[in-house]
Structure 1
Amino acid sequence: MTTTTGPLWDPRTEHDLRTALDHGLLEETHYLDLKRTVDPGKSANKKIAADIASFALDGGTIVIGVDEGADGATLSLWPIELAGLPERIESIAVTVVHEPLRISTTRIAATGTPGHGYLVVRIPRSPRAPHMVDGRYYGRGDKENRILSQEEVLRLHERRLTGRTDILAETHRAIEELGPRGGTSILAILAEPLGAPDDLLVPLTESGDWQSTVLSLVQDAALPEHRAYAPTLAETGSFGRRANAVAITTGMHDGTRFEVGENRAAEIAFRENGSLLLASERAVEIQTFPHVNPKPPDIEVVFETLILGDTLLLIRLAALVSQRFGFSGTWRIGLVVTGLRGTRSFTLCARRFGHDGAVYTADSYQRATEATLLDLTAEPRTVVKALVAPLLRSLDAHRAWETYFTEPTDASG
């Protein structure tokens, strides 16, 4: 155990708690709150909800089962009954806090006291902070919660919007760096680990077997659905170096990257600063009707299967990169699709009967969101929905994909 109770402190045993206590490190800080117990009732629910909301700004930990003594300073471990408590705290985070928060809890058993112990509640830094409880926004001071002023709330919301604008601008720049496209549609998804060190993935790019590491990460992230369309990065063994990055590729030969008219290339670049960039052709393709007489004109269609699949693949990959290279923070994700004006939904047009959907009326589509590591691992398809659902609605294809976002968790692969 590391003898610190800062934002990365992660106690797992009673010994961990005891060691921190004996070293005089178990004390309330900007990142840590200690509680003897949590009382029953709505009032207590709101109090713990305010604690959770306040920590969501910078991240933090609540340890339940520590008595501060009559003087507020003489600390001791105080095992509590754990039955139902984790579920209650997690429910409070999603029902009393607005917007709902995803948190994690760890039960720690007390020696010699069956059913009793301590509960460690970890609140990750939320990309959607500030959060509200009972009509008030909360933040964390040095050791206590505080209500945020209107000016602070506005500033935090503006910072969030600015961040989304920045990630989309960077995604557009990444498309431009691919070279002249000649009107070919490109899907680009950029995932950026917020606050990560600039050299997060240097150990990968310096490694003598980086190809093996990249391949295993992509294969672990891939699901059967990622092998059902082309171009797919789930079944490839091609690699290349990029500026400040290494990449896994498909449909690229003799050192070429994206050749105009080929419509078969894709790659994921692992940048040294930790960001991941997936770029793919065939987001839009030509649909022909060779067996229809009289033959109708060819139409351009949006290949939703590829867009949704590649977005899910990169989200799952970001979670694996976090776990492999020790990043526990928030990711900002930007998605851009070019060459869309005048297209329709492939999903709807491919049906024998029924409505073909709506014509897309803009040249491109863009969307950005933020997600914690818990979001990426527990509900990756919810993150996909935040990024792609507006495009589906614009094509009038959202009903055809409703079940895609409600499928069981992909965490097990």
Structure 2
Amino acid sequence: MTSPAPHFYLGPVVPRWQPATLDDVRKALSDGTVRERHWIDVKRQVSTSESDKKEFARDVASFANDGGLLVIGVAEDKANGTFSVAPVPLSGLPEQVDQILRSRCDPPLFVQCHPIEDSGAEGSGVLLVEVPPSPLAPHMVDGRYHGRGDTTKYRLSDAEVVRLFGLRSARQVVARQLIDVEIARDPVPVNREVESRLYAVARPLAAPPELLTEHLMGREIHDLVLARAGGSRHWQRLDEVEPRAAGRGWHTYGLNSRSLWLEFDKVKTMCDLEIADNGALTLFASQLSSWRNAGKDTTQKFLDDDDAVAVVRGLVELTGALGTAYGYPGQWQLAVGMTNLLKGVSRRADLEWSNTPEDMLRYSADDYLNATTASTAECREHPGAVTHRLMYRLVRALGTADQSAEIFA
């Protein structure tokens, strides 16, 4: 699947910018569409000196709070206050940008690079570095946090840092509301003595209400769902499809119209995915735990945390695929919740069965909840990183973070 054409937000009073050629960049520089402001900056090049690398990382980190764009390959005539295209070698430049931001920003910062080649000089051009609003903002560089003013970056005050961290906390409140809605509409009765469940939501933050209305019943969107089936037994069981009031549903046998009609004692692993007209995805998966013997006269609840991580990875990948296929490049809010986890042990744990039950590493809370935001591009290109933000704290507590490294990659 090819990536959509670049489509950049440059501020509330400027139309979105969609450059396809270097002439588009030249025109935007001459008419003032591209000039240094809160959401955009220009640079002549990315230097290889250590001080310049730090300065570049600070520039990008300052954009991560609200989002922004850096245009590399632009010269400034300060005497006249004008800008002009000054093509730079593009080979290896996106990789250099990525390496700088991963090694000098804490936490590492995701950006998307869009090269625009000069038709008259093969291999040269400008590089557009798109910086989406980061769910992990603020990002520290060299021990300091930075923000963006009208035209330049500045060091954030303590109060501004507290405000940004407060926004992170607020996302958890919204996540709890989203997950509580999904728990309330779970169609399968819960046997809390036996079973852990997972609920997940991916909600576009600025999509039109009918983003997918004309596409929901088509074969293409069905194929996008089926493409996730390889990573999880739950995704593999989404073999029934139907239209619904909310959009379109994929579900396991027995969950027609998101209503259970099988006898409860015949219910096995159940899974339901719903995609709404505006692109929102909701998913639940049952039976993510089981009871087994754990030594003489002892039973233990074992959690299928490996499949839980794979289920979430599949949802992140599908989010990126849907946004790409149907023209929504913006931000998504993603939330994951799991229930009935208390005292569960990972089934992947390398347990010494001779140990007493007290020696086993158990999950120390009943529920799990986490949330993040991510752009379509990050879900598409770095689904492991998004999954890591959503699920790392679960597997860390179960002692299986190393076993999840491949899914997080």
TM class, shorter-chain normalised? Answer: 0.7 to 0.9
1:281 CA displacement? 1.0
CA contact (8 A) 2:372 2:389 kept: yes
1:169 CA displacement? 2.8
1:163 CA displacement? 1.0
Equivalent residue number for residue 130 of structure 2: 122
Aligned residue pairs total 392
Q: Cα deviation per residue 1:112-155 (whole Å; 9 max; x = unaligned)?
A: 33443222222122111122223332222222222222111111
Whole-angstrom CA distance in 2 between matches of 1:238 and 1:132: 46
Match for residue 169 of structure 1 among 177, 181, 190: 177
Equivalent residue number for residue 231 of structure 2: 225
Q: Cα deviation per residue 1:157-192 (whole Å; 9 max; x = unaligned)?
A: 101111122112320221112255343532111222
Letter in 2 for 1:145: K
Change (3 A) 1:264 1:81: closer
Whole-angstrom CA distance in 2 between matches of 1:90 and 1:116: 19
Taking only aligned residues, the RMSD between alpha carbons, in angstroms, comes to 3.2
CA contact (8 A) 2:239 2:251 kept: yes
Equivalent residue number for residue 282 of structure 2: 277
Equivalent residue number for residue 307 of structure 1: 308
Q: Cα deviation per residue 1:279-313 (whole Å; 9 max; x = unaligned)?
A: 01111234479xxxx99666432122331221111
1:328 CA displacement? 2.4
Change (3 A) 1:125 1:362: closer
Kindly indicate whether residue 331 of structure 2 is the aligned counterpart of residue 330 of structure 1. Answer: yes
Q: Cα deviation per residue 1:38-79 (whole Å; 9 max; x = unaligned)?
A: 444222222222210111122211112222224242332222
State the secondary structure of the residue aligned to 1:190.
strand
Kindly indicate whether residue 95 of structure 2 is the aligned counterpart of residue 87 of structure 1. Answer: yes
Whole-angstrom CA distance in 2 between matches of 1:136 and 1:377: 30
1:10 CA displacement? 4.3
Letter in 2 for 1:108: I
Counterpart mapping for 1:341-380 below 5 A = 341-348=342-349, 357-380=360-383
Kindly indicate whether residue 139 of structure 2 is the aligned counterpart of residue 131 of structure 1. Answer: yes
Whole-angstrom CA distance in 2 between matches of 1:171 and 1:332: 12
Change (3 A) 1:347 1:13: same
1:273 CA displacement? 4.2
Q: Cα deviation per residue 1:306-334 (whole Å; 9 max; x = unaligned)?
A: 31221111111111122123332333322
Letter in 1 for 2:270: A
Match for residue 68 of structure 1 among 44, 63, 76: 76
CA contact (8 A) 1:196 1:273 kept: no
Q: Cα deviation per residue 1:330-386 (whole Å; 9 max; x = unaligned)?
A: 33322222122343323348x896768433343222223333434323332233233
Whole-angstrom CA distance in 2 between matches of 1:4 and 1:372: 13
Whole-angstrom CA distance in 2 between matches of 1:368 and 1:287: 31
Whole-angstrom CA distance in 1 between matches of 2:138 and 2:291: 45
Match for residue 185 of structure 1 among 166, 176, 196: 196
Counterpart mapping for 1:3-42 below 5 A = 6=10, 8-42=16-50
Change (3 A) 1:246 1:33: same
TM-score computed with the length of structure 2 as normaliser: 0.83
Whole-angstrom CA distance in 1 between matches of 2:186 and 2:7: 47
Question: Which is worse superposed, 36-45 or 51-60?
Answer: 36-45
CA contact (8 A) 1:251 1:264 kept: no
| Structure 1 unaligned regions, length at least 5 | 408-413
State the secondary structure of the residue aligned to 2:268.
coil
Q: Cα deviation per residue 1:59-107 (whole Å; 9 max; x = unaligned)?
A: 2111122222242423322223445433332222122222221222233
Counterpart mapping for 1:206-245 below 5 A = 206-207=213-214, 210=217, 212-222=219-229, 224-226=230-232, 229=233, 231-233=234-236, 236-242=239-245, 244-245=246-247
CA contact (8 A) 1:164 1:332 kept: no
Match for residue 196 of structure 1 among 206, 221, 226: 206
Change (3 A) 1:72 1:52: farther
Q: Cα deviation per residue 1:176-212 (whole Å; 9 max; x = unaligned)?
A: 122553435321112223x31361xx242x3376253
Whole-angstrom CA distance in 2 between matches of 1:125 and 1:271: 24
Whole-angstrom CA distance in 1 between matches of 2:91 and 2:235: 46
State the secondary structure of the residue aligned to 1:75.
strand
Kindly indicate whether residue 161 of structure 2 is the aligned counterpart of residue 157 of structure 1. Answer: no
State the secondary structure of the residue aligned to 1:326.
coil
Kindly indicate whether residue 101 of structure 2 is the aligned counterpart of residue 101 of structure 1. Answer: no
1:267 CA displacement? 0.8
Letter in 1 for 2:200: I
> What percent of counterpart residues are identical?
28
Change (3 A) 1:196 1:233: farther
Match for residue 48 of structure 1 among 53, 56, 75: 56
Whole-angstrom CA distance in 1 between matches of 2:324 and 2:73: 29
State the secondary structure of the residue aligned to 2:362.
coil
CA contact (8 A) 1:334 1:368 kept: yes
Whole-angstrom CA distance in 1 between matches of 2:87 and 2:390: 44
